[in-house]
Structure 1
């Protein structure tokens, strides 16, 4: 399938009202500082499955609605329309968000029959790269893709230093509401800068995410999507019902993380005679919900902490119950006191203490799987007046060239609710063993078409 469309227009969308002078410099918070300077992709797909005839001016009319609603929304999310000033701040100069409109002479439904992640990357406004953006670089970029059938894909890139997954979701939902003409508006809370003041003297090696670098290894990768429906989640929960000390029902994120970690260990053991004897996973924890009182979900910026869990690679330590307990226990270390310790003028000292405690969980040598969950962010409720998206992509894909970050698991809700779509980018040497694990094949569909489970039924939050 053609991966590049015809560019119809390219412009910068500026906030509909100028940003006040006192808000022109947006300082990153302490929690923003520790996040890697990479761009996060997201694509929402809206097919025209009913083949409803479109007005000849459909593209121009829809583009105008999206353009005007984006401009209005950027007035409240003004850092996204700015440019990187330096490593610690954003110049909120209202230069605007790059906005590209593209036309594909193909049917979106044909792409969705067998989605190719490399093709997905043609639906975002810039190639993905590990290169660090410098001063003057964009904070957010948008590409709206139109297809012959009347389907639409809305692609975006966001600078992770400025926005985590929750903030990205909040912005996209606010933009979509404005496009629908909704009178309800969401105004982001910018209090993170005050609660977690930045530290100008912090060196990069003191960043939380720097701990991962010691586990990086270059290699070629293969990507698989595993879709667990609500019945599969229930089956996994049943397997864990006898877990000692279980007081709270396992979440779907916990059970899928534990299962895929177990499979990762099996694949690691079978793939090489020289594999590490220890396996490590990290989980990103949303600290908004861990504070007391909780920070609002529309709090702008990064509120993520990385927690590690490790296991020896033998069968006694790497069973499902044990791995589930390790995942749950490490997530529980981020509690009210943990978050409070990093707040205020002495917050950097608290950060250093938290960092020291977290680093104790990183073994010297381990096979590493990084887990990130965007579940329960409400992304399938993003409706620009086109209905709910049928599918959401993060554009993760395998690589035929050596890549530095090779074992990555991203978890996302299913459109129907109650399930999980797991995107696993894996060392090519592991994939053969992974594909043979019967327990995984019994519970999950592998690389299914989003059209297979299309339903107009409402999303059921779990």
Structure 2
């Protein structure tokens, strides 16, 4: 469906109290520096809350005031990013857009089109410059709400995103006991010169399509069973949900793009991994910043067709992201050299990279602004190709896979019979 979105107003919201002078310069970490300048987007949907003009104004004011209060705990989000080195925490504030969406909320949730959801955000998601944060308050004809939030990936990863949104929601509903963020990333991963490496995502001239595929709990269990290690017949080892779905989607991608017929192509599957739990001592979930790395799996020729092997390779590569690995990343140079090598591979020859990001079991559905928790949380269309983002479904037991592929590849992937046998109907 085509969303018609009309911007009603746009204001700049500043922190409710000024940032202390000692906190005015926020240093980016090494991991922040090498992270692409894009926005992490999610839109949270709530049913029929703005049933009168007075309630719309009340909710809008509630959001604005609570954002202003929340920004006093997240000073960098109200500042401006400078030279990929630091944030000037100058309290300039963040844009807050109010928009009218001329359709029913139920229509969007029933049949979401990722590219259309991009209209519910205040920014082009691949044009993250100085502004760290933007919010769009969308009101549907049924008086339902969609809160579109995008935070610059330069400042924080997905868990940082939820740390902000859920604390903002807690302030809005009047919570007094707040868990404040810890800004420790630059002290743990000191900034360094990244001369010779450009963190910008290389844009392709080809059209990229994002589609959403839903896997129910029962189908996920079927896939897990399909890829279980049956070397022990008494107690077969089953892969995790994400290991199984990653292997399954990769296998269908391989078929769609005919990678098997190009044996000289270098293939790699990347999984983003949260480093907080893999440090010594572990960091709290509310530690703010880019505290992630990626596990690299180079599928063997056998695993291009045999996903049992790929599942074990994925598991092994993720297991290697341990305390010793984190120490090497903290040193910086070896990790920088490695990502430079990965970035240069497409220039040197034919490659097929595929990235997997899981937000499953993250606090995706916890943002209660005083109106209850969201009935659905959606992502957006991406401009980067060959990737999948996994989100928990609203039911809590299924998984949504938001897949980005070149248009010609998606046309083949989307009609793959084995894929269609496992996904729920009516996905976009």
Query: Common fold, TM-score beyond 0.5?
Result: yes
Tell me how far apart the structure 1 counterparts of residues 281 and 73 of structure 2 sit (CA, whole Å). Answer: 24
Tell me how far apart the structure 1 counterparts of residues 408 and 371 of structure 2 sit (CA, whole Å). Answer: 42
Task: Please tell me whether the aligned partners of residues 95 and 134 of structure 2 are also in contact (alpha carbons under 8 angstroms).
Answer: yes
Tell me how far apart the structure 1 counterparts of residues 170 and 237 of structure 2 sit (CA, whole Å). Answer: 35
The match for 2:194 among 198, 202, 206 is 202
Task: Please tell me whether the aligned partners of residues 359 and 390 of structure 2 are also in contact (alpha carbons under 8 angstroms).
Answer: yes
Post-superposition Cα deviations, 1:59-95, rounded to whole Å, max 9, x if no partner, equal 1000111111111111101110111222200000111
Tell me how far apart the structure 2 counterparts of residues 423 and 300 of structure 1 sit (CA, whole Å). Answer: 25
Tell me how far apart the structure 1 counterparts of residues 46 and 178 of structure 2 sit (CA, whole Å). Answer: 23
Tell me how far apart the structure 2 counterparts of residues 394 and 105 of structure 1 sit (CA, whole Å). Answer: 20
Q: What displacement does 1:250 show?
A: 2.3
Q: What displacement does 1:114 show?
A: 1.7
Pick closer, same or farther for the CA change 1:244–1:35 going to 2, 3 Å. farther
User: Aligned-residue CA RMSD in angstroms?
Assistant: 2.9
Deviates more, 1:81-90 or 1:97-106: 97-106
The match for 1:117 among 114, 117, 137 is 114
Is 1:157 aligned to 2:145, yes or no? no
Is 1:263 aligned to 2:260, yes or no? no
Is 1:376 aligned to 2:361, yes or no? yes
Paired residues, number: 425
Is 1:287 aligned to 2:287, yes or no? no
Is 1:227 aligned to 2:214, yes or no? yes
Q: What displacement does 1:39 show?
A: 1.9
SS at 1:311 equivalent: coil
Residue equivalent to 1:69: 66
Q: What displacement does 1:268 show?
A: 1.5
Pick closer, same or farther for the CA change 1:181–1:387 going to 2, 3 Å. same
Task: Please tell me whether the aligned partners of residues 252 and 419 of structure 1 are also in contact (alpha carbons under 8 angstroms).
Answer: no
Is 1:54 aligned to 2:51, yes or no? yes
Tell me how far apart the structure 2 counterparts of residues 444 and 282 of structure 1 sit (CA, whole Å). Answer: 23
The match for 1:299 among 283, 287, 291 is 287
Pick closer, same or farther for the CA change 1:263–1:380 going to 2, 3 Å. same
Q: What displacement does 1:334 show?
A: 0.9
Is 1:327 aligned to 2:314, yes or no? yes
Residue equivalent to 2:332: 348
**TM-score with structure 1 setting the length:** 0.84
Q: What displacement does 1:132 show?
A: 5.9
Pick closer, same or farther for the CA change 1:176–1:446 going to 2, 3 Å. same
Tell me how far apart the structure 1 counterparts of residues 341 and 371 of structure 2 sit (CA, whole Å). Answer: 47
Is 1:81 aligned to 2:81, yes or no? no
Tell me how far apart the structure 2 counterparts of residues 151 and 367 of structure 1 sit (CA, whole Å). Answer: 42
Is 1:107 aligned to 2:104, yes or no? yes
Which structure 1 residue ranges, 4+ long, deviate > 6 Å from structure 2? 245-248, 272-275, 356-363
**TM-score with structure 2 setting the length:** 0.90
Contiguous gaps of at least 5 residues in structure 2: none
Q: What displacement does 1:355 show?
A: 5.5
Q: What displacement does 1:370 show?
A: 2.0
Deviates more, 1:110-119 or 1:239-248: 239-248
Tell me how far apart the structure 2 counterparts of residues 150 and 132 of structure 1 sit (CA, whole Å). Answer: 30
